[in-house]
Amino acid sequence: MLEEDNTIKSVVKSIFEHRKKSLNCLFLFSAFEILTIGLSSRELNFALKMHLIPLVFLRATFIYGGEEELGWRGVMQPLLERQLSFPISAIITGTVWGIWHIPLWLINGSSQQNMSLILFLVLAIILSFWLATIYKKTQCIFACSVFHGLTNTLLSVFIIKLNIVLIIGVIAMLVYSIYIWYYGETTS
Protein backbone atom coordinates (compact mmCIF):
# COMPACT_ATOMS: atom_id res chain seq x y z
CA MET A 1 0.00 0.00 0.00
CA LEU A 2 2.87 2.36 0.81
CA GLU A 3 4.38 1.78 -2.65
CA GLU A 4 1.00 2.62 -4.24
CA ASP A 5 0.79 5.85 -2.18
CA ASN A 6 4.30 6.82 -3.30
CA THR A 7 3.37 6.14 -6.94
CA ILE A 8 0.28 8.35 -6.68
CA LYS A 9 2.30 11.09 -4.98
CA SER A 10 4.95 10.82 -7.67
CA VAL A 11 2.38 11.16 -10.49
CA VAL A 12 0.66 14.12 -8.80
CA LYS A 13 4.04 15.75 -8.22
CA SER A 14 5.05 15.30 -11.88
CA ILE A 15 1.79 16.93 -13.03
CA PHE A 16 1.66 19.94 -10.72
CA GLU A 17 5.23 20.69 -9.60
CA HIS A 18 6.93 23.56 -11.43
CA ARG A 19 10.15 25.52 -11.41
CA LYS A 20 10.06 28.60 -9.21
CA LYS A 21 9.19 31.79 -11.09
CA SER A 22 8.66 29.81 -14.30
CA LEU A 23 4.90 30.34 -14.55
CA ASN A 24 5.58 33.80 -15.99
CA CYS A 25 6.14 31.94 -19.26
CA LEU A 26 2.61 30.47 -19.08
CA PHE A 27 1.09 33.87 -18.28
CA LEU A 28 2.98 35.58 -21.09
CA PHE A 29 2.01 32.95 -23.67
CA SER A 30 -1.60 33.08 -22.44
CA ALA A 31 -1.80 36.88 -22.68
CA PHE A 32 -0.21 36.82 -26.13
CA GLU A 33 -2.64 34.14 -27.33
CA ILE A 34 -5.68 35.98 -25.96
CA LEU A 35 -4.54 39.18 -27.69
CA THR A 36 -3.75 37.43 -30.97
CA ILE A 37 -7.04 35.56 -31.21
CA GLY A 38 -9.11 38.42 -29.81
CA LEU A 39 -7.62 41.11 -32.05
CA SER A 40 -7.68 38.94 -35.18
CA SER A 41 -11.27 37.90 -34.61
CA ARG A 42 -12.93 40.91 -32.99
CA GLU A 43 -16.12 38.85 -33.03
CA LEU A 44 -17.48 36.82 -30.15
CA ASN A 45 -19.32 33.57 -30.73
CA PHE A 46 -22.71 34.50 -29.29
CA ALA A 47 -23.84 30.87 -29.53
CA LEU A 48 -21.76 30.47 -26.36
CA LYS A 49 -23.32 32.19 -23.37
CA MET A 50 -20.64 34.40 -21.80
CA HIS A 51 -21.45 33.29 -18.24
CA LEU A 52 -20.46 29.75 -19.29
CA ILE A 53 -16.88 30.70 -20.23
CA PRO A 54 -15.39 29.65 -16.86
CA LEU A 55 -17.15 26.28 -17.13
CA VAL A 56 -15.97 25.86 -20.74
CA PHE A 57 -12.41 26.63 -19.60
CA LEU A 58 -12.55 24.10 -16.76
CA ARG A 59 -13.99 21.42 -19.06
CA ALA A 60 -11.40 22.25 -21.74
CA THR A 61 -8.60 21.98 -19.20
CA PHE A 62 -9.72 18.84 -17.36
CA ILE A 63 -12.00 16.91 -19.74
CA TYR A 64 -11.46 17.69 -23.42
CA GLY A 65 -7.98 18.76 -24.40
CA GLY A 66 -5.94 19.62 -21.37
CA GLU A 67 -5.84 16.07 -20.05
CA GLU A 68 -4.00 15.05 -23.25
CA GLU A 69 -0.92 16.92 -22.05
CA LEU A 70 0.12 14.17 -19.67
CA GLY A 71 0.77 12.00 -22.73
CA TRP A 72 1.96 14.56 -25.29
CA ARG A 73 4.21 16.87 -23.25
CA GLY A 74 4.61 14.66 -20.17
CA VAL A 75 5.66 11.48 -21.97
CA MET A 76 6.09 11.71 -25.76
CA GLN A 77 8.04 14.97 -26.01
CA PRO A 78 10.59 14.07 -23.30
CA LEU A 79 11.07 10.55 -24.71
CA LEU A 80 11.70 11.94 -28.19
CA GLU A 81 14.13 14.52 -26.79
CA ARG A 82 16.32 11.70 -25.48
CA GLN A 83 17.14 10.84 -29.10
CA LEU A 84 16.29 13.98 -31.10
CA SER A 85 16.60 17.73 -30.79
CA PHE A 86 13.91 19.80 -29.09
CA PRO A 87 12.52 21.31 -32.34
CA ILE A 88 12.37 17.96 -34.16
CA SER A 89 10.69 16.37 -31.12
CA ALA A 90 8.10 19.18 -31.00
CA ILE A 91 7.40 18.79 -34.72
CA ILE A 92 6.96 15.01 -34.43
CA THR A 93 4.77 15.35 -31.33
CA GLY A 94 2.67 18.03 -33.06
CA THR A 95 2.26 15.93 -36.19
CA VAL A 96 1.15 12.85 -34.23
CA TRP A 97 -1.10 15.04 -32.08
CA GLY A 98 -2.69 16.60 -35.18
CA ILE A 99 -3.26 13.18 -36.77
CA TRP A 100 -4.78 12.01 -33.47
CA HIS A 101 -7.58 14.56 -34.07
CA ILE A 102 -8.52 13.37 -37.59
CA PRO A 103 -11.59 11.42 -36.34
CA LEU A 104 -13.12 14.76 -35.33
CA TRP A 105 -13.63 15.55 -39.04
CA LEU A 106 -15.99 12.56 -39.17
CA ILE A 107 -18.27 13.79 -36.36
CA ASN A 108 -21.22 15.85 -37.60
CA GLY A 109 -21.26 19.27 -35.97
CA SER A 110 -17.60 19.14 -34.93
CA SER A 111 -15.88 22.53 -35.20
CA GLN A 112 -13.01 20.83 -37.05
CA GLN A 113 -15.32 20.24 -40.03
CA ASN A 114 -15.15 23.99 -40.71
CA MET A 115 -11.35 23.93 -40.99
CA SER A 116 -8.90 22.58 -43.53
CA LEU A 117 -7.13 19.47 -42.24
CA ILE A 118 -3.78 20.79 -43.53
CA LEU A 119 -4.27 24.12 -41.71
CA PHE A 120 -5.21 22.21 -38.55
CA LEU A 121 -2.06 20.06 -38.79
CA VAL A 122 0.14 23.15 -39.27
CA LEU A 123 -1.49 24.83 -36.26
CA ALA A 124 -1.12 21.62 -34.21
CA ILE A 125 2.62 21.59 -34.92
CA ILE A 126 2.98 25.27 -33.99
CA LEU A 127 0.88 24.84 -30.85
CA SER A 128 2.94 21.78 -29.99
CA PHE A 129 6.06 23.93 -30.12
CA TRP A 130 4.46 26.50 -27.77
CA LEU A 131 3.32 23.80 -25.35
CA ALA A 132 6.71 22.06 -25.45
CA THR A 133 8.36 25.41 -24.70
CA ILE A 134 6.02 26.01 -21.77
CA TYR A 135 6.81 22.53 -20.46
CA LYS A 136 10.54 22.97 -20.98
CA LYS A 137 10.47 26.29 -19.12
CA THR A 138 8.09 25.28 -16.27
CA GLN A 139 8.59 21.49 -16.03
CA CYS A 140 4.87 21.50 -15.21
CA ILE A 141 2.40 19.34 -17.12
CA PHE A 142 -0.50 21.20 -15.52
CA ALA A 143 0.76 24.49 -17.00
CA CYS A 144 0.48 22.83 -20.43
CA SER A 145 -3.01 21.59 -19.57
CA VAL A 146 -4.08 25.10 -18.61
CA PHE A 147 -2.67 26.57 -21.84
CA HIS A 148 -4.27 23.81 -23.92
CA GLY A 149 -7.59 24.46 -22.12
CA LEU A 150 -7.24 28.19 -22.76
CA THR A 151 -6.61 27.58 -26.46
CA ASN A 152 -9.69 25.37 -26.77
CA THR A 153 -11.75 27.92 -24.84
CA LEU A 154 -10.63 30.80 -27.05
CA LEU A 155 -11.58 28.75 -30.12
CA SER A 156 -15.09 28.51 -28.64
CA VAL A 157 -15.38 32.13 -27.45
CA PHE A 158 -14.25 33.83 -30.67
CA ILE A 159 -15.16 33.42 -34.32
CA ILE A 160 -11.72 32.53 -35.68
CA LYS A 161 -10.67 34.44 -38.77
CA LEU A 162 -7.60 33.67 -40.81
CA ASN A 163 -6.12 37.11 -41.42
CA ILE A 164 -2.84 38.99 -41.20
CA VAL A 165 -3.25 39.76 -37.48
CA LEU A 166 -3.68 36.07 -36.67
CA ILE A 167 -0.77 35.05 -38.90
CA ILE A 168 1.56 37.68 -37.41
CA GLY A 169 0.50 36.77 -33.86
CA VAL A 170 1.00 33.05 -34.41
CA ILE A 171 4.39 33.60 -36.04
CA ALA A 172 5.46 36.02 -33.28
CA MET A 173 4.55 33.44 -30.63
CA LEU A 174 6.47 30.77 -32.55
CA VAL A 175 9.53 33.04 -32.82
CA TYR A 176 9.26 33.83 -29.10
CA SER A 177 9.07 30.13 -28.23
CA ILE A 178 12.13 29.43 -30.40
CA TYR A 179 13.93 32.28 -28.63
CA ILE A 180 13.02 30.85 -25.21
CA TRP A 181 14.17 27.37 -26.27
CA TYR A 182 17.43 28.62 -27.82
CA TYR A 183 18.18 31.06 -25.00
CA GLY A 184 17.52 28.33 -22.45
CA GLU A 185 19.81 25.93 -24.33
CA THR A 186 22.70 28.40 -24.63
CA THR A 187 22.56 29.43 -20.97
CA SER A 188 22.28 25.98 -19.42
Backbone angles phi, psi at 158, to 5 degrees: -105, 155
Q: What's residue 64's pLDDT?
A: 83
* Residue 41 within a domain: yes
- Structure confidence at residue 188 (pLDDT): 45
Please give the average pLDDT of every successive group of 10 residues along the chain, which has 188 residues: 60 62 85 95 89 94 89 94 95 95 85 81 94 91 94 90 93 91 64
Spatial distance between the Cα atoms of 160 and 120, rounded to a whole number of angstroms: 13
Q: Write down the pLDDT at residue 107.
A: 86
In a domain, 11, yes or no: no
Residue 6: inside a domain, yes or no?
A: no
Q: Tell whether 17 is covered by a domain.
A: no
Q: Which pTM was predicted?
A: 0.86
pLDDT at position 53 is 94
What domain range is 90 assigned to?
22-187
